[in-house]
Structure 1
Amino acid sequence: MKKWLQKGLMISVAVLTLGIIAPNHEIWNHLEEGKELRTYTPNGNNVASAVQLDQLSTDMQEETADEPQQLVQTMKTAAKEQAYIKFGTRIAPVISDDFEERIFPKMEEAIESTVARLDNDTMRSLSITEKPSGNYSEKIFHIKNSQTKKDVIRFHVRTENRLDDGYYYNFHYHTFEDQFAKHYDLGEIYWSKNTPPKWLS
């Protein structure tokens, strides 16, 4: 057998098995010499391979255990992106510090606690809406079950005009657990006495 073909096969075996199964060089010697192969006898390499397989299985279990944390982290990242899209270029520079310090940490907690109460199938089906509402509408984003198309949690911001005080942004959320009836407060950010710009502007 040509050397380049032999090396190609060895590399293919190593790549396909992710290095778990090391090609036995005795095979090539016997093929070149036309001898019969010996029967299988365990050796140190086989034990090492078994240990590597056990480690791979443990790593996969850890990845599965990390799946909810990765999902929550993905949701948090998307939540922040959607919030800043809603704020637009006129509102974001004014309220971003207060949002980062006081509102977003509570938003993260709400996402974590809501996702933690869901079953695994629902958790894996979660998606986040990507179109915050403009004008003076409240919707920042919703997290929904993509299979049932039903919302799980809704994050909103309401613009409130308080006489003599001015305008405030009231951040809150609603959950499916009470049919979105209750407001769960995340906090407020003061704008000014002047009318704020429209969202997305």
Structure 2
Amino acid sequence: MKQWLQRFMIASVAVLTLGAITPSHEIWLNFQDKDEPNETDSTAQERHYSLDLGDSPKDLLTPHAYPTLSEEDLLLDTARSLSYEKFGERIGPVIQNEFDTEIFPRIEAVIQTTLHNASERRLAITEQPSGDYAEKIFHVYDKTAEQDVIRFHVRTEKRPIDGYFYNFHYHTAKDGFSAHHTLGDIYWSKNTPPKWLS
């Protein structure tokens, strides 16, 4: 079929059906010659993949294609994701910027110091932050001894004139988790904050 006649038919059908049948509809593909390229296929890039039967999976997965994360990177990524999980959808967006710039670099420094001081230990992070108004964000623990090494917490504090603040702090096993080591405070507002994980 002549190309100008085909385009005229496509336009007239689209106008008459008020756009219900569009130019990219399957009906029009039947009118094309087999030698003509599809308009929908012309924008797609052709990709050819080949796999020899002699290739082993180790040859295909080179170390450069998938970089491995160090133990430190894994701990820090888990710490960040658990922190945001604790904040939830209501608290997270409000305190995110200040947490990323002020609090998390301090958490990072404490974790890095602990890793370097405890090179013989295998450290991991607990998987579930506590909700409601409980303080626990996550704990760093020794896998072999199955004991906590550091506990990272956040406490909601109401200050009489100023309003509500989030006090980020940690406890260490060295002093029996009794002393508060402050990481910083983030102001919420004068209104009561929502519960964690909400």
* Counterpart AA for 2:114: T
2:190 is the counterpart of 1:193 = yes
Give the % identical residues: 50
- The structure-2 alpha-carbon separation of the partners of 1:16 and 1:132, relative to structure 1 and needing over 3 Å to count, comes to closer
> CA offsets, 1:74-127, max 9 Å, x none?
11100000000000000001000000010000000010011111132x1xx211
2:174 is the counterpart of 1:180 = no
Within a 5 Å distance, the mapping from 1:10-21 to structure 2 comes to none
Residue among 156, 160, 165 paired with 2:157:
160
Match of 2:102 in 1: 102
**How far apart are 1:145 and its partner, in Å?**
1.1
**How far apart are 1:16 and its partner, in Å?**
11
**How far apart are 1:149 and its partner, in Å?**
1.4
Residue among 121, 124, 144 paired with 1:127:
124
- The structure-2 alpha-carbon separation of the partners of 1:72 and 1:194, relative to structure 1 and needing over 3 Å to count, comes to same
The answer to which structure has the higher helix fraction is 1
Distance 1:17 1:173 in 2: 43
* Counterpart AA for 1:195: T
Within a 5 Å distance, the mapping from 1:13-162 to structure 2 comes to 70-120=70-120, 122=121, 125-162=122-159
When the two chains are superposed, the root-mean-square deviation of aligned CA atoms in Å is: 2.2
Question: Mind listing any 5+ residue stretches in structure 1 that lack a counterpart?
Answer: 1-7, 19-66
Give TM-score, length-normalised by structure 1.
0.64
> CA offsets, 1:54-80, max 9 Å, x none?
xxxxxxxxxxxxx9x811111110000
Query: What SS does the aligned partner of 1:94 have?
Result: helix
Distance 1:108 1:183 in 2: 17
Count of residues in Structure 1 that have an aligned counterpart in Structure 2:
139
**How far apart are 1:169 and its partner, in Å?**
0.1
